[in-house]
């Protein structure tokens, strides 16, 4: 953990109500968007590195997470609303434009921010989850074809209250297992039951590894994450998954649309979020024609900027330096 004391925190107005952000440095604005189940803290290694490189690095809590507002309605977590939050943050910071970088769900939020508001988001960086243009089959049709008799975790998350009942009685333990399941040094061995799927009578947690935590996750780190979700609950975070059909309808006018801005993609060679979408990566000459940097980190899992912070920081700062002035 580097220079966290130098990070400043505040909340700004947004369509959600307020968005909490952590900020470090001065210069061109770089907006950092986390994924599930995390918060601004997932960028703790990037904030000082980007600040040292001459950027104003700002990591937000996405609506429903951390200290940001948590609207009650499930439909308040559709993608167009999250994009509106990002735009509001940029303007609240006194800026007209920003580079946006996201990880996991944050990568999709970043991509759609760049797609819907290209005049605001002038470059886009994607970590772990490749860009796939809107359109194609309905999400339910895709998920129904996955796993055979087992249930894909995204489908498992759909029913309000169901995943919450699994997670919230032991938030800290569940998070520790989930992080370990997708980390390179602790994930289940090849051939073991896949933790992305649930047996007909089971839970996700049944397949989480037990024993030592991943090397990147200290007890303090886990305390930070657990403390946030013990306070907020998981519903706001899970509601992102519960809007995928609404997103499919909301973004229908952009079906097949490429991202034209200068872009970056970083993935982990052991991360299912990357390896399942190799066709999307192969399509980058069409879907990301402005791609400057694309790299798969060998032996890395899903939590890429936390598992391999030095490498990710180097890729990010080199890419940012290469962007047009």
State the Cα–Cα distance between residues 213 and 307, nearest whole angstrom: 12
Where is 127: in which H helix or E strand? strand 121-127
CA torsion, points 50, 53, 55, 57, in degrees to nearest 10? 10
The span from the CA of 307 to the CA of 325, in Å, is 31
DSSP string for 139-205: HHHHHHTSSTTSEEHHHHT-STTHHHHHHGGGHHHHHHHHHHHTSTTTSPPTTSPPTTEE-TT--GG
The whole-angstrom separation of Cα 287 and Cα 132 is 8
At the topology level, CATH places domain 4-322 in: Rossmann fold (3.40.50)
pLDDT score at 5 = 56
The closest of 139, 182, 158 to 238, measured between CA atoms, is 158
What token pair was written down for 84?
A: 């509106």
The one-character DSSP state at 35 is -
Task: Give the angle 94-98-101 at the CA atoms, nearest 5°.
Answer: 135
What span, in angstroms and rounded, lies between the C-alpha atoms of 250 and 236?
20
**Partner residues linked to 100 by β-bridges:** 31, 124
- Predicted TM-score of the model (pTM): 0.97
Could you tell me the residue ranges of all domains in the chain?
Answer: 4-322
* Residues designated as active site: 104, 302
For residue 145, the model assigns a pLDDT of 80
Give how far Cα 208 sits from Cα of 137, 156, 183, 204, 325, Å. 30, 15, 11, 7, 46
R_g over Cα of the chain: 18
Among residues 43, 103, 115, 36, which one has the least CA distance to residue 79?
115
Q: How does strand 8-14 pair with strand 17-24?
A: antiparallel
DSSP bridge partners of 123: 99
The parts of the chain modelled with pLDDT lower than 50 are: 1-3
């Amino acid at each position: 953990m580097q220079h966290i004391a130098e990070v400043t925190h505040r909340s700004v107005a947004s369509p959600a109500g307020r968005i909490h952000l952590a900020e470090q440095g001065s210069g061109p604005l770089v907006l950092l968007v986390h994924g599930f189940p995390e918060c601004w803290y997932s960028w703790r290694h990037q904030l000082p590195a980007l600040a040292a490189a001459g950027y104003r690095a700002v990591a937000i809590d996405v609506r429903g997470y951390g200290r940001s507002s948590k609207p009650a309605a499930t439909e308040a977590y559709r993608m167009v609303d999250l994009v509106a939050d990002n735009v509001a943050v940029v303007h609240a910071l006194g800026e007209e434009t920003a580079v946006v970088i996201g990880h996991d769900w944050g990568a999709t939020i970043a991509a759609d921010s760049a797609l819907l508001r290209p005049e605001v988001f002038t470059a886009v960086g994607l970590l772990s989850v490749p860009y796939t243009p809107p359109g194609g089959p309905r999400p339910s049709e895709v998920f129904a074809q996955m796993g055979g008799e087992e249930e894909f975790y995204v489908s498992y998350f759909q029913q309000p209250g169901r995943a919450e009942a699994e997670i919230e009685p032991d938030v800290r333990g569940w998070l520790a297992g989930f992080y370990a399941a997708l980390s390179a040094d602790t994930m289940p061995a090849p051939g073991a039951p896949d933790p992305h799927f649930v047996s007909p009578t089971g839970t996700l947690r049944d397949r989480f590894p037990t024993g030592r935590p991943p090397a990147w996750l200290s007890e303090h780190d886990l305390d930070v994450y657990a403390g946030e979700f013990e306070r907020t609950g998981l519903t706001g975070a899970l509601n992102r998954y519960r809007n995928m059909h609404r997103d499919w309808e909301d973004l229908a006018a952009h079906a097949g649309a490429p991202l034209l801005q200068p872009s970056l993609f970083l993935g982990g060679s052991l991360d299912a979020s990357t390896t399942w979408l190799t066709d999307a990566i192969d399509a980058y000459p069409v879907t990301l024609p402005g791609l400057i940097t694309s790299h798969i980190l060998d032996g890395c899992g899903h939590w890429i900027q936390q598992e391999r912070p030095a490498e990710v920081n180097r890729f990010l700062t080199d890419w940012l330096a290469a962007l047009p002035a």
